[in-house]
Amino acid sequence: MADLRTTVAGISFRNPLWLASGIWGESGNSLKGAWDAGAGGVVTKSIGSEPRMGYPNPTIETYDNWGMLNAMGLPNPGIDEYPQEIGVARDAGATVIGSVFGADADEFARLGERMAATGVVALELNLSCPHAKGLGSEIGQDPDQVREVVSAVKRAVRVPVIAKLTPNHYDVPLLAEAAEKAGADAISAINTVRAMAIDARLRRPVLAHGSGGLSGPAIKPVGLACVWQIFERVKIPIVGMGGIETADDVIEYLLAGARAVQVGTAVAFEGVGVFRRLGEELTRRLDALHVVQVADLVGAAHGAPAAP
Amino acid sequence: MRTITEVSERIVETPSTVTLRFRYTPAASPGQFVMIWLPGDDELPMSLSYTGEPKGVTIKAMGATTRAALSVQKGDLVGIRGPYGNHFDLTPRRILLVGGGSGTAVLAPAAEAAARAGSTVVAALGATTAAELLFVDRARAFSNRVEVATDDGTQGHHGYVTDVSQRLLREDSFDAVWTCGPEIMMRKVIAASEARHVPVYCSMERQMKCALGMCDACALGPYHVCSDGPVFPAERLTPLPEFGRTKRDSSGRRVPL
């Protein structure tokens, strides 16, 4: 039987299927639930310095089987309250990755330090949140700021640091290079794709916030392209995500260069049972392909013969 | 996806409670809820108080958004998605309903459907005062025993509805209790019913955002109220430290109920 274990930034995971940030991860019981359901790692909701209510509803729009649009507005209980939730998940034996967001490098570093102290195995920096200096833009849009944030966090913590990148940039690998130069231990990509919904009859945006982020099968090709390009330009490991629903989706991300993947929207569409199903499907699929271990597929589509 | 639909009827049920009826064709079972969007304002989870056509929700003014919902008029457009969640089991048997305040809104369609399917329903309905009693006439149509309680004694028993339900549990025998209302009330209903080995099903309420079992806003112990509920057998609730004590606010912090 194929070995599903994988290693990212020196940490071993029982399988490459992680719970993506923002899904289920606000409460410790839910993180535990995803772990118990078979996830190889669980990423927390992005946690900030203060409790944050998020945007008013509607925060979500769904599209039959192909996507989901959300503008939750980073609701989270704040770093003072959150350690008790992580405690619940860690007590269950879960491999927890702590996601944090901040307005600048100092805030990221402070939060990273406190998150690391909860016993998470790694940090994921949510670099796709609005930043304080230029309203409406994202820290993660600017390679210089990515470098500043990652450097500051690296100085503050010992656990591996994963930089989560936005796809809403003309040259995503440039951001990955900035993170790598600053000492990031891994890249995760992609966050949601900027998008919006307008109701024709009401003549107004559907989401209370106006625009939001698209996830689900619709963005899989975008995610694959980003992972592929990042793999060609950096040496550090990549955690891929965007629209993963089947074992073949996982394999495609591995072939593009990911060492692990994250699953989010499929949890909303199918429930947390998606982890067990994907794990079983992946094992069968790898066996059928005579692949012995996940690592054998990582980046294997690169260097495939070009068309004559 | 949402369906934009017109409010076809607006019924003032009590001084603080209004029912909105609208055409929304997806099949729904009693106990399920919809997300109702008031364009320009919030989107709220509301249990269906009418599961046939036209469907309906019954909204009580609690906070700013529910107060705004009360100002929706006939002809206004609202957005509906769902129905979501599980529903009451309509297997025919003897059922005791215990409704507190607007909690009766979700019990009424369930009891109607159960009675149609051959169940016998006895109803205990409570409110702060006579004018706030909800669906008493509606209950009389599906039950030949409806008892009411008001905190101020303006109608029926002077006191809590749990006094009435405890007496009914002593006087009569039931196969199931269905309850919805303040959690402190439901805890009392559970305690009295468990003493007599009658299973209790509670319709729970929590803040909701996605309603898809994803965002964690409605996390209750290991459950999501939107997808594992909103109807829970009591034995799932009583072990939870949150039940009857805390909920989560929009940020996910635990706050007192």
Question: Model confidence over A61-78: pLDDT tens digits?
Answer: 999 889 999 999 999 999
Q: What is the mean pLDDT of residues B67-89?
A: 94
Domains contained in chain A, number: 1
Which among B216, B218, B254 is the top mutation candidate for probing chain A, defined by the most A β-carbons within 10 Å of its own β-carbon?
B216
| pLDDT score at A307 | 66
Is A101 within 8 Å of chain B by CB? no
- In this structure, which topology does domain B3-84 adopt according to CATH? Elongation Factor Tu (Ef-tu); domain 3 (2.40.30)
- Window 18-57 of B: residues touching A by CB (8 A cutoff) are 35, 37, 39-40, 42-44
Is B236 within 8 Å of chain A by CB? no
| Domain presence at residue A302 | no
A26 chain-B contacts, CB cut-off 8 A: 215-217, 219, 248, 252
CATH architecture designation of domain B94-251: 3-Layer(aba) Sandwich (3.40)
Q: CATH number of the domain that A208 lies in? A: 3.20.20.70
pLDDT tens-digit map of A229-272: 999 999 999 999 999 999 999 999 999 999 999 999 999 899 99
Least confident piece of the model among A65-79, A121-135, A198-212: A121-135
Which of A51, A204, A271 is closest, CB to CB, to B253? A51
| Domain presence at residue A240 | yes
| pLDDT score at A143 | 94
Rounded CA separation B149/A47 (Å): 46
| Domain presence at residue A33 | yes
Is B255 within 8 Å of chain A by CB? no
Q: Based on the residue annotation, tell me whether A226 is a catalytic residue of this protein.
A: no
Asked, as a colleague might, if the bond just before A97 is cis with ω within 30 of 0, I would say no
Q: Distance from A45 to chain B by nearest Cα, in Å? A: 9
- The ipTM value here is 0.90
Is B213 in contact with A268 (Cβ distance < 8 A)?
yes
Q: Distance from B11 to chain A by nearest Cα, in Å? A: 24
In 3-state terms chain A splits into helix, strand, coil percentages (rounded to 5) of: 35, 25, 40
B77 pLDDT more than 90? yes
User: What backbone phi and psi angles, to 5 degrees, belong to B223?
Assistant: -105, 160
Which of A26, A45, A58 is closest, CB to CB, to B37? A58
A135 pLDDT more than 50? no
B212 chain-A contacts, CB cut-off 8 A: 60, 62, 268-269
In 3-state terms chain B splits into helix, strand, coil percentages (rounded to 5) of: 25, 35, 40
* CA closest to A61 among chain B residues: B1
A132 pLDDT more than 60? no
What's CA A168's distance to the chain center, in Å? 15
A184 pLDDT more than 80? yes
| pLDDT score at B125 | 98
Residue B211 β-bridge partners: none
Contact A129, A49 (CB under 8 A): no
What's CA A185's distance to the chain center, in Å? 14
Helices (H), A72-187: 82-91, 105-116, 143-156, 172-181
The domain limits of chain B are: 3-84, 94-251
Is A53 in contact with B213 (Cβ distance < 8 A)?
no
Q: Distance from A174 to chain B by nearest Cα, in Å? A: 31
Rounded CA separation A196/A212 (Å): 6
pLDDT tens-digit map of B239-251: 999 999 999 999 9
A46 chain-B contacts, CB cut-off 8 A: none
Which among B215, B224, B236, B242 is the top mutation candidate for probing chain A, defined by the most A β-carbons within 10 Å of its own β-carbon?
B215
| pLDDT score at B64 | 82
Which of A26, A206, A208 is closest, CB to CB, to B219? A26
pLDDT tier at B62 (50, 70, 90 boundaries)? confident
* Parallel, antiparallel or unpaired: strands A60-63 and A11-13: unpaired
Return the percentage of chain A with pLDDT > 90, whole number. Answer: 90
| pLDDT score at A64 | 86
Is A202 within 8 Å of chain B by CB? yes
Is A204 within 8 Å of chain B by CB? yes
Higher local confidence (pLDDT), A150 or A134 = A150
| Domain presence at residue A187 | yes
Q: Distance from B214 to chain A by nearest Cα, in Å? A: 5
| pLDDT score at A25 | 78
Q: Distance from A232 to chain B by nearest Cα, in Å? A: 33
A304 pLDDT more than 90? no
Is A78 in contact with B224 (Cβ distance < 8 A)?
no
Which residue range(s) make up the domain with A171? 6-297
Rounded CA separation A205/B40 (Å): 10
Between A and B, how many residue pairs show a Cβ–Cβ distance under 8 A? 114
pLDDT tier at B201 (50, 70, 90 boundaries)? very high
| pLDDT score at A131 | 54
| Domain presence at residue A160 | yes
- Window 94-113 of B: residues touching A by CB (8 A cutoff) are none
Is A206 in contact with B2 (Cβ distance < 8 A)?
yes
Is B216 in contact with A30 (Cβ distance < 8 A)?
yes
C-alpha distance from residue A98 to each of A29, A113, A227, B70 (Å) = 15, 11, 22, 42
